Amino acid sequence: MFKIVDSSHVGARLDVYAQNLSGLTRNAAQKLIEAGGVLVNGKASKANYRLREGDALEINLPEVAPLDYAPENIPLDIIYEDADLIVINKPKGMVVHPAAGHSSGTLVNALLFHCGDSLSGINGIARPGIVHRIDKDTSGLLVAAKNDNAHQSFATQFADHTITREYMALVHGRVKANGTVDAPIARHKINRKKMAIDPAGRRAVTHYTVVDYIQNFTQITARLETGRTHQIRVHMASINHPVVGDVVYSNAKQTFGLEGQALHARLLGFTHPTTGNQMEFEAPTPDYFEKTLIKLHKLT
């Protein structure tokens, strides 16, 4: 994979950019750099090298390890599928890829059954076909790559922030107006399962729009300019409007019997990796979200 660094990525760390561009995990990208698999202007470099405009990056991806995870016949809500990609409307409660405590019942297990060998292998054992993810208790749209060329195309689009991702959320309080949160996010220094606003973190930008006020709650749409872990949840909590049902970033009492946050990835847009056509998909409002809104309106 070859890429010329443009002005929008000047100053970025090599490992972070290589991670975004290749679709590898951060740890895998660092190991690849250490092994000389990432060249800057034809030479090996360090993971903390800061990119300059015009730098020529060459990324030589590692061999793919054989898969250990079992295909499982789990029903999928398929929004679109062709030879290059598959767009899934992931249900609330489903983990995207196997990890400690979740070795089965994941989206990856379902994709292995549905797609067979037609999944990209850039991420090897851990995430076949997966180029991005949404939280276990967040519902909505997710795209998976069915070959390495598609995977690399999506990784580049995510790195260049050209993917359209819009979420529907219900948050605590009455948000005064439309706005933007531009605040860097990093792993929490004490609780490693959480993320936090951190000046030393990676830039994160969320644009939110007020849709409706219902009692002391606000329905919003949130459009991601970047895609950091838990970004919307962290950003909305940082402005004192945490997502309803979020037990990690909100101290508010659990409301309406929700199991997890009222957050739904409703819209996903990207450039098709083969045809170059612009594609955009929408997922209908899920039942749990509709029922919560109905309960709120009945109380008004």
**Catalytic machinery residues:** 135
For 224, half-sphere exposure in the C-beta direction (CA atoms, 13 angstrom radius) is: 30
> Whose CA is closest to 112, among 148, 153, 69?
69
> Whose CA is closest to 135, among 179, 167, 183, 180?
167
∠ CA 238-171-106, nearest 5°, is 90
Residue 202, SS3 per DSSP: strand
Alpha-carbon gap, residue 155 to 21, rounded angstroms: 5
Between helix 14-22 and helix 148-159 the angle, nearest 10°, is 130
Q: Are 141 and 284 in contact (CB under 8 A)?
A: no
Sheet holding 56-59, edge to edge: 2-4, 56-59, 38-40, 43-44
Residue with tokens 């997502």: 243
- The contacts of residue 192 (CB under 8 Å, 6+ apart) are none
Residue with tokens 């999506």: 154
> Whose CA is closest to 79, among 267, 225, 290, 278?
267
